[in-house]
A and B are shown apart, each in its own frame.
Chain A
Amino acid sequence: MTKKVKPSYKELEDLLAEAEQMIRAILSGEVDAFISEKGIYLMRLKEIEEELRRSRNELQQQVNQRTVELEATNRRLKKLNAELQDFTYIASHDLQEPLRKIQNFGGLLIDLYGGSLDETGRDYLERMMSAVTRMRNLIDSLLAYSLTTQAGPYKQVDLNKSVKQAVSNLEMLINEKQARLEVSDLPLIEADQVQMIQLFQNLIANALKFQPAGSCPCVKIESRLDTAGQTCEIRVTDNGIGFEKKYLDRIFLPFQRLHDRDSGYQGVGMGLPICRKIVEHGGGTITARSRPNQGSTFIVTLPLKCHQSPESPDSP
């Protein structure tokens, strides 16, 4: 056993002085190596400090430069986006007028002179009118798509009422298709009321549209909140024809159709792109799971609260 030696006052004083000197030397960066039985460790504190300071300054300069560049790009993109929106709106709005004239005069042509045309002439005229109707649908969709960016005031929206309104708007089609709808309880969220109705209307219409011949559509709408209570997930499931996974990105792009016009599936390919725009403007996401002939599930995730201050709850 080691015998304990009581140090003298002088020894303690010397030890303290040495410790103080060590601390001073280390803090002032006057030492450059630490020696131990395991090896020698360099203590280039000042150099490291200087290097760190230099790196930090360089990084800060880079960040500042990038921020300036990003801000400039952001401003440019915003301007371009605004111009594009204006252009889309004006183009689609102004295109309606000449088209309306073609439609009106085409209608008069059929009514007043249809009888004097032979079968081929009438066929041409009918084809022309059908193309006009299609173009009108395209323009209406384009207009709707460009207007989707302009969300109204965000307020508390009862999604149950939004679905109810969407179903009411689609009543004729639902009856015609003998569709069955199952809607579970949906939450209240802060959103644009009109756009929420549009969202459900497009998703339900999509489910009704892409059905195998002779089958009755069955659409199920359900929701659940995330564990943190920040977002809600809404699932719209149908028993339709579905699609292959590789088309997932395409279905949300404007005017993209997976089926040609002769397939019997009507539409211009704007329903889902509008849904995506609505959802993304609300700070959410939309995706889908599907397999050919096994139906589809569209999954919408939306925040329960948005950044704008909500107004009073909506009325039906």
Chain B
Amino acid sequence: MDSQSSELLSANQSPAFILFVAGDEPNSRMARDNLAKINDALFAGKLSLQIVDVFHSPEKALIHGVFLTPALIRTSPPCRTMLLGNLSMETEVRRYLGQTTV
């Protein structure tokens, strides 16, 4: 875990994320893998992360205003923006996760 990520997680707030995926579709699988790698590497797997398969729970996606997958959203503290795509752009993902400390 690097110093930046430790710092990010040092806040009292408990950030929570949901990754919306479409079953085992290629981009969804990649997003899951990429996020798991970042979680392991930077947050020691401690990131509060829920994965929602829209094939099983499409209503959850609609409730959160997600209509494209894969999509990563922050539910706590709530954030207006979401991250779309297979999360292969690590810098952007880290920045998005880093916003949790705000």
Contacts and interface: CB of A to CB of B under 8 A. Distances in A.
B25 A42 contact: yes
Contact of B27 (A21, A24, A32, A35): A32
B11 interface: no
Contacts of A21: 81, 83-85
A35 B67 contact: yes
Contacts of B69: 31-33, 35
A35 B54 contact: yes
Contacts of B76: none
- Which of A17, A22, A33, A36 is the most central at the interface, judged by chain B CB atoms within 10 Å of its CB? A33
Interface in A25-39: 25-26, 28-37, 39
Interface string B68-102: 11100000000011111110100000000000000
Given A31-B85, A33-B28, A37-B62, 6 more contacts: A29-B27, A31-B68, A31-B69, A35-B68, A42-B25, A46-B26
Contacts of A42: 22, 25
Interface of B: 22, 25-28, 54-55, 58, 61-62, 66-70, 80-86, 88
B27 A17 contact: no
Contact of B22 (A30, A40, A47): A40
A38 to B, nearest CB: 10
A24 B88 CA distance: 13
A30 B86 contact: yes
B61 A25 contact: no
A14 interface: yes
Contacts of A26: 68
Contact of A25 (B62, B68, B81): B68
Contacts of B27: 29-32
13 contacts: A14-B80, A25-B84, A25-B85, A29-B27, A31-B69, A32-B25, A32-B26, A33-B25, A33-B54, A36-B67, A40-B22, A40-B55, A47-B26
A18 interface: yes
A31 B70 contact: yes
Given A22-B84, A25-B84, A40-B54, A34 B67 contact: yes
A189 B88 CA distance: 71
Interface string A4-31: 0000000100100110011011101111
B66 A35 contact: yes
A65 to B, nearest CB: 33
A44 interface: yes
Contacts of B85: 21, 24-25, 28, 30-31
A36 B66 CA distance: 9
Nearest to B80: A14
Given A33-B54, A36-B67, A18 B82 contact: yes
Nearest to A18: B81
Nearest to B24: A32
B23 to A, nearest CB: 8
A32 B81 contact: no
A176 B22 CA distance: 92
B58 A35 contact: yes
Contacts of B80: 11, 14
A69 to B, nearest CB: 39
A32 B54 contact: no
Closest 6 CB pairs of A and B: A33-B22, A30-B85, A32-B25, A25-B85, A25-B84, A32-B27
B28 to A, nearest CB: 6
B70 to A, nearest CB: 7
Contacts of A28: 85
